[in-house]
Chain A
Amino acid sequence: MSTIKLRYDIPANDFVIAGEASSNVKNKLTQIGLSSDIIKKAAISMYEAEINAVIHGNGGYAYVEISRDKVVINIVDYGPGIPDLGLAMKEGYSTAPDNIREMGFGAGMGLPNMKKYADNLEIITEVGKGTKIIITVNF
């Protein structure tokens, strides 16, 4: 049983496209026939990571592997990185600039939501180099 491998570009600061990668993955998971709870977990956690890459990470790419028992979502950016991860995980804390907040983003719930919905969340980040988010949702 081989895995399904998908790759998506995440363009920086493009709010029209933002969310399309996670929407795409959501449709594929629906076609596989997973339960709606599992699909919801994967879709929401991936969406939050994708939006973060757009707003904060200066764009990047998403690499998704769907295997028989789980889906692993990698979101990689070469942006500024997260200086204080503990602070970033706090609900309500956001470093989004004003123009982004005006669009309705920047509520400070991205990382907390990711943690809430993913079965496993791994964050590898280095200031000045970038951030890699690895989300696992089990079937």
Chain B
Amino acid sequence: MEVKVKEYFHSVNLDKDKCRGCTNCIKRCPTEAIRVRKSKAQIINERCIDCGECIRVCPYHAKTAITDSLDMINGFNCKVVVPAPSLYGQFDKKYSRNNILYALKLIGFDYVYEVARAAEIVSEATRHLLKDPNIKKPMISSACPGVVRLIQVRFPSLIDNIVKLESPMEVAAKIVKNEIHEKYNIATQDIGVFFISPCAAKVTSVKSPYEKKKSYIDGVISIKDIYLKLLSALSNVNNSQKLAEAGLEGIDWANSGGESGALGTDKVLAVDGIHNVIKIFDEIEGDRLKDIDFVEALSCTGGCLGGPLTVANVFVAKTTLKKHMNEASKKGVVSMDKKSYDELVWTSNVVYKPVMKLDQDLSKAMEKLEMLEKIYAELPGLDCGACGAPNCRALAEDIVREIANETDCIFKLRERIRNLAEEMVDLGGKMPPVMDKEDLDQRKNE
């Protein structure tokens, strides 16, 4: 029972009171996972990849992400924060990275460890993997959980291309828990590590991880939720402690192109925005991407800086981040020994989630496809969304899957009503001879 709940946990959520049942989110979802039913949007759990497009596009702010509140840190003796590098781009340029990290301590955390530092470790491990002649190319980064889930649902033939290294967030949590445990002798269960996140997908990867059974992270707090607190704390900072340790290589991970740029080779491709990622993955599946060893794919336009839970405009944040990068050293970390890379490798694999299949049985699936084509040919083809499905083809699919009816299409409904009306007029014009008084009256008047 518990496993099932975890399998379908989604951090993307709907505030029903704000939802108007419009067509905006259903049309933008890259896996066609949303339908409008009873005038509210409904997410089809098996198809949702937590990319956050619907959060971004909803004009009524009805789509939200489930994240943990800052109060959750009070459940732990030792409160640790691992901020995503996207955090640095959210504030005015006048604050240094050290200021921001110090402000995190002021709002309640005891210890800070930058995810950017762990990112540099993952970059080093990736550089090593690139040299392996047996590795399947192009390698696809696993940094964005939305993209990994996209592959599970829509591009299963690319599962073997995914780089099976733990994310910087997990690496950071693991390192800092060990560090504190050894340095201060605090039991690991008393150490609470919290990730400051720019997106919803990261929440899902903590609560429902695919790479191993349990995450090292204890809670995920959105950038949006702590922004104001941090802003007021920033007015009280001093520069007494040097907390900023990551180099520019790690900070650049927040940008699209940052992760691939750190690999020291030209044979890389960086793509951002989930619909652009889909196009590139189509190219890879068709063997049309030549001479590329590594693909960095991010769901959000602009990279993590453009995540749905960030506050600053992505382009402004990019400029701010550049300033932080200029002030940082090239690299913050000393290189690791080979043995440590093995600790970063996933212990379990991602599986294919065949939600696009019409039926488990091949013959039945073919029959359903045939029926789908027939139904689709009869639909108006306007993709208006009035039926609650993103387009006419999706409605045809829903009908075949028996979760919708042809009369959900208002054009088909009107057609049927018109036909019925014509029948009624026709019938209305015919009276049985016994009752037909009108004829008799007419003849009287003549």
Contacts and interface: CB of A to CB of B under 8 A. Distances in A.
A65 B372 CA distance: 16
Contacts of B365: 31-33
Taking residues whose C-beta sits less than 8 angstroms from the other chain, chain B's interface range is 20 to 34
Contact of A2 (B156, B356, B370): B370
B356 A4 contact: no
B363 A1 contact: yes
A19 to B, nearest CB: 8
Interface string A59-76: 000000010100000000
Contact of B354 (A23, A33, A44, A68): A33
A33 to B, nearest CB: 4
A129 interface: no
A2 B370 CA distance: 9
Nearest to A30: B356
A40 B285 contact: yes
Taking residues whose C-beta sits less than 8 angstroms from the other chain, chain A's interface range is 20 to 34
A32 B286 contact: no
Contacts of B287: 40, 44, 113
From DSSP, what is the main secondary structure of chain B's interface residues?
A: helix
A28 interface: yes
A31 B356 contact: yes
Nearest to A107: B290
Given A2-B370, A68-B366, A33 B156 contact: no
Contacts of A22: 286
A44 B284 CA distance: 11
Contacts of A66: 366, 369
A127 B157 CA distance: 39
A34 B370 CA distance: 15
A22 B360 CA distance: 24
Contacts of B288: 47
A88 interface: no
Interface string B353-366: 01011111011011
8 contacts: A1-B367, A2-B370, A4-B370, A23-B282, A31-B358, A32-B358, A33-B357, A39-B157
Interface of B: 156-157, 282, 285-288, 352, 354, 356-360, 362-363, 365-367, 369-370, 372-373, 397
CB-based closest 6 A-B pairs: A33-B357, A36-B157, A32-B365, A33-B365, A31-B358, A30-B356
